[in-house]
């Protein structure tokens, strides 16, 4: 088994790289998706969030009111730490379960947006960083995701900077250009991962 930590700044194209790797046969473990699953109605995760933040963070149907919770935690580092202390261990546990079920010959790609920020690089055999210039990221967030320029800049500023991400990379995928320039790079990475020859 080869474990890959895949990361990249918002708008860099990490989702497209994980989609391609998955289409080639990688086992994809998506930290964002798992973070949503572990606080679905009826889960111990949601019960713990409600115990910490109160019933106000629930919608009428009993699911988590993400915008309301976001409004609480993103303006208060202490509350964000409290939320992370609930959610992160549950995500790690579920990720470990999925990885354990992947089989000895698998290439397991962990899609982890905050890999650099949370200093998780040592957990993986190979760290892949999807890189794009900040201007490219900004353009994609405004043009493709409909964010205002201020929103986009503030989301980018909340993440590790480009140099921090690149400093942990074993492999850098350059996604500054058009989509058709991306696929050959990802295909080459996949072939190296299958041969277990990426780690420097």
pLDDT tens column, 146-194: 888 988 888 888 788 999 999 999 999 999 988 899 999 999 999 999 9
For the entire predicted model, the pTM comes to 0.84
Which of 14-18, 55-59, 96-100, 148-152 comes out lowest in average pLDDT? 148-152
142 pLDDT exceeds 90? yes
199 pLDDT exceeds 60? no
CATH class of the domain whose range is 1-26+106-200? alpha beta
What is the three-state SS of the chain? Answer: CEEEEEEECCCCCHHHHHHHHHHHCCEEEEHHHHHHHCCCCCCHHHHHHHHHHCHHHECCCCCECHHHHHHHHCCCHHHHHHHHHHHHHHHHHHHHHHHHCCCCCCEEEEECCCCCCCCCHHHCCEEEEEECCHHHHHHHHHHCCCCCHHHHHHHHHCCCCHHHHHHCCCEEEECCCCHHHHHHHHHHHHHHHHCCCCCC
* pLDDT, position 159: 86
The model's confidence at residue 197, banded by pLDDT at 50, 70 and 90, is: low
pLDDT tens column, 83-130: 999 999 999 899 999 999 998 889 999 999 889 988 999 999 999 999
| CATH number belonging to the domain at 35-104, selected among 3.40.50.300, 3.20.20.100, 3.40.190.10, 3.90.1010.10 | 3.40.50.300
CATH 3.40.50.300, the chain: domain bounds: 1-26+106-200, 35-104
């Amino acid at each position: 088994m080869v474990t890959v930590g895949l990361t990249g700044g918002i708008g860099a194209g990490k989702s497209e790289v994980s989609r391609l790797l998955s289409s080639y046969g990688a086992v994809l473990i998506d930290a964002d998706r798992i973070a949503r699953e572990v606080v679905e109605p009826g889960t111990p995760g949601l019960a713990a969030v409600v115990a910490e933040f109160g019933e106000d963070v629930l919608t009428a149907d009993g699911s988590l009111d993400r915008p309301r919770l976001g409004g609480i935690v993103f303006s208060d580092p202490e509350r964000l730490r409290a939320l992370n202390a609930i959610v992160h261990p549950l995500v790690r546990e579920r990720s470990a379960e999925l990885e354990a079920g992947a089989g000895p010959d698998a290439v397991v790609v962990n899609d982890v947006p905050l890999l650099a920020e949370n200093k998780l690089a040592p957990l993986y055999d190979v760290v892949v960083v999807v890189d794009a210039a900040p201007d490219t990221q900004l353009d994609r967030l405004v043009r493709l995701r409909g964010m205002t320029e201020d929103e986009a800049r503030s989301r980018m500023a909340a993440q590790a900077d480009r140099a921090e991400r690149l400093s942990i990379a074993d492999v850098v995928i350059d996604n500054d250009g058009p989509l058709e320039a991306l696929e050959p790079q990802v295909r080459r990475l996949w072939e190296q991962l299958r041969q277990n020859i990426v780690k420097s």
